Amino acid sequence: MVKFSLNKEHERCDSAVVVILTHGLEGEIYGSDGGLVSVQKMIQLLDAVNCPALKNKPKLFFLQACRGQRYDSGHDVIDSGDAIGSANARCKLNSLDENDAAALRRKVPTQADILIAYSTTPGFVSWRNSLRGTWFIQAVCEVFSEYAWKEEVLHLFTRVNDVVASKMSSCGSVQVPEPCSRLLDCMSTMFSKIKLPPGTTFDELIDSAKDWAQIHGLCIRLPEKYENSDEVQLAPFTLLPSPFSKSCFDTAVNLHQAMMAVYHQIAFDYDFMEDALSPVMLSDVFVSKLFGIYRAVMKHGNMMSRLVLNIQRCDYMMQEEPNSLYSLKQVEVNHVAASFAGLGVRCRQWHRLMLSQMVENAKLDLLPENHALETVALGLLSAWRAYGHSEAIILIMVEDELRNFADQRLVEYKIQSLAEFQHVPMRRFRLTHCPGNVAVDRRGRLMLNGVEVAVVYYRTGYLPKHFPNEDVWSAFLQIELSEAIKCPWIGFHLAGMKRMQLLLSNSDTLRSVIDKTKLLVWPVNMKRKILDDDDDEMYRQMKSVTVPMHDLDPSKAGADELMKHVDANADNFVLKPHLEGGGNNFYGQNLIKQLNQLCSNERSAYVLMERIRPPTFDNWIIRANIPAQQTSVVSELGTFGYSLATGQQIISCSRDGGFLLRTKPSKEDEGGVMVGAAALDTPHLLLP
């Protein structure tokens, strides 16, 4: 292989194919001398660095070898073709796995032009029929002979996968986890189907994507010039939509109404909220101040009969399970400034255009319709109309350093579009400018410089820096005590704290809260099965997405053992404070460092969450002033919904509220778009 890689005559070649049939272990194969050779190091010999003569030319590796040691050597079996076979001495199962190929490409970016077809997944044997040879090589020969003249290579590999997956040994063993490989093949298939117009380069395609984004408002303000929109830059987005299990997607969408009911119940349950947050308030000044506002509002009277608006986004990731399938796991629930409903819809428009014009035989129906922008706008419009005064304004409360202007403006424009001929007065105002400018009159009406406010829509207020002094806190209290409809009101703000998510991970607590939601009155036409006297189903579905979380209270039983376990397995956990906005979590050694810096009573200001392990794919992330590169990524799905309600009754709510997909490099821990980690994306739905 070394000699082959150094051959300069390869410059005249169009591609290279390497076929290896041998025995192997996980990550290693046996040479003719009995020595073990690293698969990764062998493949690196033909990458762009070690074999420049083949740079940017397709290199295909066919590796027929076992990748595990779970079976005894040499026992005879009969496969589904009724012929005698043998399972190799050093092996365990499997065949072509494009998931593994993608994983190896991700480890070595210079291998972007290399495709590795394994005969099996890690840890499994690769079965061999004693008369006809290996299942994998048999399938390769049959499929390539029949279809290679008319189909591209990844379609051929999918056919090979189907053939091998259909076989079964006499002992019931199979090869290739078909659902997983089909799901993870999606991105490679889309990449291979990109058809550029004659003479067009890939860089020109990226430029076209950037132009489209700028023209259609897929942009944000510059970090150093957030005062106005004279100069803007691209909001990060992906070139192509990313694959997402349809089963997981449907679960997230179907769960949203139940999630809204549970968090609505928590927001209005003063005793529950106080018990939950008491340990946190001992060390978290920000949470303590927020709860002080909540206490004042709840004791002010008539809160249960006041209208409140909740625009909620529930965030999830897929998790790879040992059976090669995927489950849905909840990351968090957002009630304050749940953003990117507007830009997420814009991103889907780009991806639909991209697939329809550039990808051969694109299945556009696999891009789900996204109603997120309409959901947010309709919620605000419904609240404004319910207030009942056409001259009163929707007050959009913004932060001082506002960069995400386009996403917010799109909501405004959509509100006016939905209102048709009815004028909806709106005003944007900084929270820090409220002291001296807002007041509550004797009737409880909120006034902004003499203008009545119907709805307050917070796109700020989720970080301590948004409240720089006591005057801002006092103005915030005035707003919350007023008759204006808040989105969110302080109860929803606190209900979205990670502490609530921690408590709901306890089965008894979750069942108790679900039981209380039965008292909520819903519109007759809005009840779903999951909310219709089916507590067990509601519990089961919510529990299925729960990630184990741990209380860091040192007085809890097993606290010392937990700390020792975390210290030894830091990469399996995430340390989260009770803050929103991204960029606040701790991972790995930074997690250990942060825990060691905290006094024992300060740890209650954080929750410990077991880390979700999502599947990885390849995509291009397009950012301002940074060359687009194909990279390994993971995705996070958010589902939107709104409810306009009192404490006991849901007046109106969304059905299918839309979604947000954010995608980030797989090596990136944080996931926020505005902190520079993630990019806007669209799910390309696939069977699980």
The number of helices, as runs of H, and strands, as runs of E, in the chain is: 21, 32
In our burial notation (b when 16+ CB lie closer than 10 A, e otherwise), range 327-349 reads bbbbbbbbbbbbbbbbbbbbbbe
- 314 labelled catalytic: no
Cα separation, 632 vs 283, in Å, equals 39
Catalytic residue among 10, 51, 66, 186: 66
Contact criterion met (CB below 8 Å) for 101 and 117:
yes
φ, ψ of residue 220 in degrees (nearest 5): -135, 165
- 23 labelled catalytic: yes
User: How big is the chain by its Cα radius of gyration, in Å?
Assistant: 28
Cα separation, 420 vs 614, in Å, equals 43
- Helix, strand, coil proportions of the chain in percent (round to 5)? 40, 25, 35
Cβ burial, residue 443 (10 Å; 0-12/13-18/19+): exposed
Query: What six digits make up the tokens of 366?
Result: 């696999």
Cα separation, 274 vs 293, in Å, equals 12
Q: What is the largest CA-CA distance in the chain?
A: 93
Question: For the chain, what's the residue count?
Answer: 688
Strand 84-86 versus strand 128-129 pairing type: antiparallel
Catalytic residue among 23, 351, 371, 578: 23
CA-based nearest residue to 354, from 195, 201, 219: 195
Angstrom CA distances, 413 to 6, 410, 419, stand at 61, 5, 10
Active site residues: 23, 66
